[in-house]
Amino acid sequence: MVYRLEFYRTTRGDEPALDYVRAQVKAHRAKIGRALRYLEELGHSARRPMVDYLGNGLYELRIPAGGHQHRVLYFFHGRTMIVVTSAFLKNEEKVPAEEMARASRRRTDWLRSSAEEI
């Protein structure tokens, strides 16, 4: 099954996670891109160590690159859509609480706006 990947977009039209990816050096962008394609291909079937469930409907895609630990937070909508809420450089053992809160707010916002479109 192929999943559709979408980046969360703010009301101003910004895509924070995509902006993060684009700001990385070429080698890191390539590795993040491969990881996102892996996620698109496997979706719910993707497993550790590449992905992990964080709770509250949020998942983490783990991308080690050049001694750095990039993280992409996302959630599933329906059976075939993956919505990427945020991406950041992880410097600690756990996902920082502020990143979890940001991803959760964006998930709520996205779900609300997608319900309004119906």
The mean pLDDT value for 83-94 works out to 92
Which tokens is 97 given? Answer: 């609480």
3-state secondary structure of 73: strand
Tokens 């996620």 label which residue? 39
Who contacts 95 (Cβ-Cβ below 8 Å, separation ≥6)?
54, 60, 71, 73
Task: Decide which of 3.40.50.410, 3.40.50.1100, 3.40.50.300, 3.30.2310.20 is the CATH code for 4-117.
Answer: 3.30.2310.20
Whole-model pTM: value is 0.93
- Cα–Cα distance for residue pair 76/78, rounded to 1 Å: 6
- Structural contact between residues 107 and 75, judged by C-beta atoms closer than 8 angstroms: yes
- How wide is the angle at C-alpha 93 spanned by C-alphas 50 and 22, nearest 5°? 55
20-35 pLDDT tens trace = 999 999 999 999 999 9
- Cα–Cα distance for residue pair 42/88, rounded to 1 Å: 22
3-state secondary structure of 54: strand
Domain boundaries of the chain, sorted by first residue = 4-117
- The whole-number pLDDT of residue 58 equals 98
